[in-house]
Amino acid sequence: MSDFDYDLFVIGAGSGGVRASRIAASHGARVAVAEEYRVGGTCVIRGCVPKKLLVYGSHFAEDLSDARRFGWDTKGATFDWPTLRDNVAAEVDRLEGLYGQTFANNKVEVFHERATLSGPQSIKLASGKEITARTILVATGAWPSVPPIPGADLGITSNEVFHLPALPKRAVIAGAGYIANEFAGIFNELGVEVTLVTRGDKMLRSYDQEIVEKLVGISREKGIDIRMNFPFKGAQKQADGSILIDGGDAGMIETDLLMWAIGRVPNTANLGLEEVGVSLDATGAVVVGADNRTNIESIYAVGDVTNRVQLTPVAIREGHAFADSVFGNNPQTIDYGCIPTAVFSNPPIAGVGLTEEEARAKLADVKIYRSDFRAMKNVLAGRNERALYKMIVDGATDKVVGLHLIGPDSGEILQAAAIAVKAGLTKQAFDDTVALHPSMAEELVLMK
């Protein structure tokens, strides 16, 4: 018998923790997981899954408008926020149940309470119970950041936005990343007057800036008030219940809802990591090597808590690699190159590989190919909104080193195309592929 209660104890039942637990158990490990909130983590409970469902719901506003040009009579169509909100919540409940079944099917024991480290191989639960484990995995994810300014507590974050009792008339969303832009699009389509503000002078800095500028322009055309260089000084509640936001020299904004979407920080506070001696970086992220191990031999970490790449599919791969390496006698590491990403804004953008800015800084010869077009559906609908596909090519090798899209279904289209970029295919390989007509995706093989 082992001297430990478990072979693996996982703190956090999000995407990375769930995958690591399941795979470790399949290798014969005795596994336990502690989750203080709900099984499923940020993505399933309060992140990408419910948010994407809200995106789908918001799209019907434009679809119903466009439908008239396609012969449909949509007079009398109305929107009811509680219906969408509650149906999304029910789907989240269903998915949480499936995650629970996964644990049960793999004989993973779940403690529904907070767990902290009390030693290199020991854990203390909120109930006071002490547990020992040969290996500990920290998979506690990240948490929305809120600025240290007066009145910051008057705002909500992406944690609370899914539970609004009613939609506000006006909303200010603070941030320049994917969460800010996605919720700006959602609220705007649902009839909220949206102001999107950021301290800096750019949106979505990690994306190709030509694509981002296109998104900013379209967003403004759709009625979203976007303000750059807005220095938040504070916020205060007014007598009528509204919020007055002080932007210093940039002016004041009055709103009914303030939402912070200014980034996410590793969720490491008060976990006992520093007391045990686990190294954290300046952001509070757990420092790990390529094998996901910390400086303490028995403690590992995966997912957003490491602040390497804050994406659900990356956390899942890291969790799987950890379990195969430690419990499956099959050492695995993650290749972080050419990870496709998308922003489900309105319209969505997606990218993989080098941006034009990155390519010009890295390569001696860069060729850029573009396709600027109007989707067939938009043409008949009388909508002037245009899509832009952009291909970045290494002129010395003809390899496609980046693809960046803005337009309907960009994320769906990019997934398959990302395989070609990852595989190092050339522009000629794209040119040699017969177009699938009529489709938006055919533009990928028609760029000259």
* pLDDT bracket for residue 435 (50, 70, 90): very high
* pLDDT bracket for residue 81 (50, 70, 90): very high
Residue 212 has pLDDT above 70, yes or no: yes
Residue 2 has pLDDT above 90, yes or no: no
Residues 317-326, mean pLDDT to the nearest whole number: 98
Write the class of the CATH domain 152-262.
Answer: alpha beta
* pLDDT bracket for residue 365 (50, 70, 90): very high
- Residues annotated catalytic, as ranges: 437
- Residue 301: predicted pLDDT: 98
- Residue 342: predicted pLDDT: 98
- Is 179 annotated to bind a ligand? Reply is yes
Residue 1 has pLDDT above 60, yes or no: no
* pLDDT bracket for residue 216 (50, 70, 90): very high
| Cα–Cα distance for residue pair 280/364, rounded to 1 Å | 37
Residues 365-374, mean pLDDT to the nearest whole number: 97
Residues 310-331, mean pLDDT to the nearest whole number: 97
Residues of the chain with CATH 3.30.390.30: 347-445
- Residue 113: predicted pLDDT: 97
- Residue 145: predicted pLDDT: 96
- Is 181 annotated to bind a ligand? Reply is yes
- CATH for 6-144+265-327 is 3.50.50.60
- Is 346 annotated to bind a ligand? Reply is no
Write the class of the CATH domain 347-445.
Answer: alpha beta
Residues 225-242, mean pLDDT to the nearest whole number: 96
Could you read off the pLDDT of 183-195 as tens digits, one per residue?
A: 999 999 999 999 9
* pLDDT bracket for residue 418 (50, 70, 90): very high
Residue 404 has pLDDT above 80, yes or no: yes
Residues of the chain with CATH 3.50.50.60: 6-144+265-327, 152-262
- Is 177 annotated to bind a ligand? Reply is yes
Residue 151 has pLDDT above 70, yes or no: yes
